[in-house]
Amino acid sequence: MEITSLGYRTDLLLLALGGSEVTGAGDHVVVRTPANPTFWWGNFLLLPSAIRTGEAARWLEVFGRTFPAAKHVAFGIDSVDGVAGAEDELTAAGFEVERSTVMTARSVVPPARPNTSSTYRFLSSDDDWEQLVGLALAANPMDVEDYEGFVRRREAAHRAVVEAGHGQWFGAFDGGRLQASLGLLTDGSGVARFQDVQTHPDDRGQGIASTLVHTASAYGFEELKAETLVMVADPEYLAIRIYRALGFDGTETQVQVTKPPAKPGP
């Protein structure tokens, strides 16, 4: 299956670098991450087009057969226009539809108000990576089973990709304390993809994120020899304005369709 979406092409690229299995299955792609089975977007089906009326049951059956132990259901839609398909039918079946803006830049401009009080550097020590786990839990809390275990497994995979030479993980530090972080990863093809831009709640509103993104972007162009930087952002969250101000433009809309695990009863 030839993948149209730049968002999903770069998703699959990074997942493969991190040890996930990406397999064509005729009319769809299967993504598995055995090392992190509760990672929804490491264990999903990428569908070739929007889900038509009456198709949800078929794809549910395919997902269940492919991931018999999974408590979640996750479908990516290989499109660029944000159309999920039979959305009323999907919602009635308990699915949630999420849309993200795929942004690209071939050059960037400095932030209007850069933060100069923090120190910007690569994550390098065990303590740095341990702090990244704590930052992720604080910046993006979720009430799901074994969330900390999922985060630890995800960050271990990120560290392995960095140590294999596929990019860097950047941090903004106040002394030795990690305030914000992001990854910028590539397979050397000329495209570099940002991952997990996050700032601790206590450190927001200080220009740290924009300065960190600009710092990493300069590294991507100069050191990784990237021609295009890719960022996937929530169109409803204020951070997207930071990326636009730095020179990123929205080029596609990425669609994710999920059915979260059922909540345990009382």
Total H helices, total E strands in the chain: 7, 11
- Phi, psi dihedral angles at 98 (to 5 degrees): -125, 135
Which among 4, 3, 13, 34 is positioned nearest to 192, based on CA atoms? 13
* Rounded Cα gap, residues 49 and 261, in angstroms: 24
191-211: per-residue pLDDT in tens? 999 999 999 999 999 999 999
Strand partners, 172: 120, 180
Nearest-Å Rg of the Cα atoms of the chain is: 19
93-150: per-residue pLDDT in tens? 899 999 999 999 999 999 999 999 999 999 999 999 999 999 999 999 988 888 999 9
* Rounded Cα gap, residues 215 and 192, in angstroms: 14
Residue 262 has pLDDT above 80, yes or no: no
78: helix, coil or strand? coil
Instruction: Return the pLDDT at 145.
Output: 82
Close Cβ partners of 237 (under 8 Å, ≥ 6 residues apart): none
* Rounded Cα gap, residues 198 and 165, in angstroms: 22
Domains of the chain: 6-102+255-259 (3.40.630.30), 119-250 (3.40.630.30)
Q: What is the pTM of this model?
A: 0.93
Please work out, in degrees rounded to the nearest 5, the angle formed at the alpha carbon of residue 175 by the alpha carbons of 171 and 176.
65
